[in-house]
Structure 1
């Protein structure tokens, strides 16, 4: 019997829900779903310029596991880029370091600190939990 899959650590959620190709309506494109942990590997390795070993430590996974997740993310990005598909970022087997929410009106990210929601320039209070939204 295989051992249970370990949740990957994701520091912060992405600011957006995904990307779409320029010049094509979103409803007219096919979608590629990128999981949160795939987004995190691209952010850590490419954007933050960490080695795969450092990124694996930060996500609390082995280096070979990080490489598999990272290669899957690159394949999805390449497919979306070449075939003109939209990328949706959702789901996966992950957990955030903190409790994150997104405002349903202005789409700003909101973090929970000491059981209080903290956001810059958002007071609507109409929020949804990013973890439960993306399961």
Structure 2
């Protein structure tokens, strides 16, 4: 019987919801999904320059699990680049200590330890919740 899947700890959400090839309309593109935990693995290894042990500890998962998440993330990004697909960053099995919101007016991301009622950037009340801590 397999172990229960552990939530992967994510520090903060990506600043954008995804990427697309230049010059092609989104409606004409196939999409690749990059899960939040896969984005976090890429961020920790390739952006923060942590090794896999350190990154796994930050995400509160084992090093072998981290390796599988990281490999899947690289595969998705490579597929999008080679095949000219859009990358959407969404979903997954994760937890975060902060509330995440995206502003409907300025499109910027806000994070805070308590619920947010107004955008921290433009003060608009047109915000959409992305994640709330458990």
Q: TM-score, normalised by structure 2?
A: 0.91
Q: Kindly indicate whether residue 109 of structure 2 is the aligned counterpart of residue 109 of structure 1.
A: yes
Distance 2:32 2:106 in 1: 25
Give, in angstroms, the shift of residue 89 of structure 1. 0.2
Distance 1:109 1:14 in 2: 8
Judged with a 3 Å threshold, the aligned counterparts in structure 2 of structure 1 residues 4 and 120 are, in CA distance, closer, same or farther, namely: same
Which stretch shows the higher mean deviation, 5-14 or 108-117? 108-117
Q: Kindly indicate whether residue 79 of structure 2 is the aligned counterpart of residue 79 of structure 1.
A: yes
Taking only aligned residues, the RMSD between alpha carbons, in angstroms, comes to: 1.6
Distance 1:20 1:92 in 2: 20
User: Are the aligned partners of 2:118 and 2:126 in contact in 1 as well (CA < 8 Å)?
Assistant: no
May I ask how many residue pairs the two structures share in their alignment?
132
Query: Counterpart in 2 of 1:66?
Result: 66
Give, in angstroms, the shift of residue 111 of structure 1. 2.0
Give, in angstroms, the shift of residue 80 of structure 1. 0.3
Distance 1:112 1:32 in 2: 29
User: Are the aligned partners of 1:111 and 1:118 in contact in 2 as well (CA < 8 Å)?
Assistant: no
Give, in angstroms, the shift of residue 128 of structure 1. 1.6
Q: 5+ residue gaps in structure 1?
A: none
1:1-135 mapped onto 2 (5 Å cutoff): 1-116=1-116, 119-131=119-131
Distance 2:121 2:27 in 1: 30
3-state SS of the aligned residue for 2:54?
helix
